[in-house]
């Protein structure tokens, strides 16, 4: 796992820093910038770090009550200190996260080829594509990011690329430079539908 794999992004084109809170499930080790989901008990947990895409069936929340997923603003990874207590995180600790499905834009430097076997350079033609969110276990690119595999409605957590940025965080469509990051939003996944 790598901290800050996926972080929120605000630009003149949009984005928000809406924050929600959940409590930590026992024995969690996620970091800031990793996806989390609210389970039926109301606590936060991380989807599997298993080199496959984050799919709707990974989400264990009670969909009848509505469920929420997002990106952790901070987390209980090894050695991390809970800012509320000044001590190690404990079960029930409050964790803020940026929710999916609220217009929040995220950015990541991790764009992977199909199968998450290698890193690829973002290009302008990635804009508008719906990709899968995946955890790569390949040496040198371990962590969460997007995979250049078409996301399927109702099956995958869908990440729609909105912008490609260069090393100076300038939109590639303006700078004409080399892509280093993708900006995307995540459609709120549910077991019944993808909004």
Stretch 159-171: mean pLDDT, rounded? Answer: 95
| 105-158 per-position pLDDT tens digit | 999 999 999 887 789 999 999 999 999 999 998 888 889 999 999 999 888 999
Domain total in the chain: 1
Residue 78 lies in a domain: no
Count of all residues that appear for the chain in the document: 195
Residue 111 lies in a domain: yes
Residue 166 lies in a domain: yes
Residue 3 lies in a domain: no
| 63-93 per-position pLDDT tens digit | 444 568 899 999 898 889 999 999 999 988 9
Residue 154 lies in a domain: yes
**What is the spatial distance between Cα 142 and Cα 135, in angstroms, rounded to a whole number?**
7
- Name the percent of the chain lying above pLDDT 70: 88
Residues 6+ apart with CB under 8 A from 151: 53, 130, 131, 132, 157, 158, 159
Q: Which domain holds residue 124?
A: 105-186
pLDDT for the residue numbered 191: 45
Residue 194 has pLDDT above 60, yes or no: no
pTM, whole model, 2 decimals? Answer: 0.89
Two tokens, residue 89: 């995180």
Q: pLDDT tier at 13 (50, 70, 90 boundaries)?
A: low
């Amino acid at each position: 796992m790598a901290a800050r794999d996926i972080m929120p992004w605000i630009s003149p084109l949009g984005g928000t820093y809406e924050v929600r809170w959940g409590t930590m499930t026992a024995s969690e080790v996620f970091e800031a910038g990793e996806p989390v989901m609210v389970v039926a008990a109301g606590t936060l947990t991380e989807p599997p770090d298993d080199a496959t895409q984050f799919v709707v069936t990974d989400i264990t929340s009670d969909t009848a009550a509505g469920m929420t997923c997002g990106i952790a603003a901070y987390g209980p990874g090894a050695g991390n200190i809970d800012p509320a207590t000044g001590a190690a995180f404990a079960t029930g600790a409050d964790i803020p996260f940026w929710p999916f499905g609220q217009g929040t834009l995220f950015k990541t430097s991790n764009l992977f080829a199909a199968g998450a076997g290698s890193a690829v350079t973002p290009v302008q033609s990635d804009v508008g594509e719906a990709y899968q969110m995946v955890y790569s276990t390949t040496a040198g690119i371990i962590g969460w990011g997007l995979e250049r595999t078409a996301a399927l409605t109702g099956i995958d957590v869908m990440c729609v690329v909105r912008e490609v940025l260069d090393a100076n965080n300038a939109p590639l469509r303006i700078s004409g430079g080399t892509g280093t990051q993708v900006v995307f939003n995540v459609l709120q996944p549910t077991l019944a539908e993808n909004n």
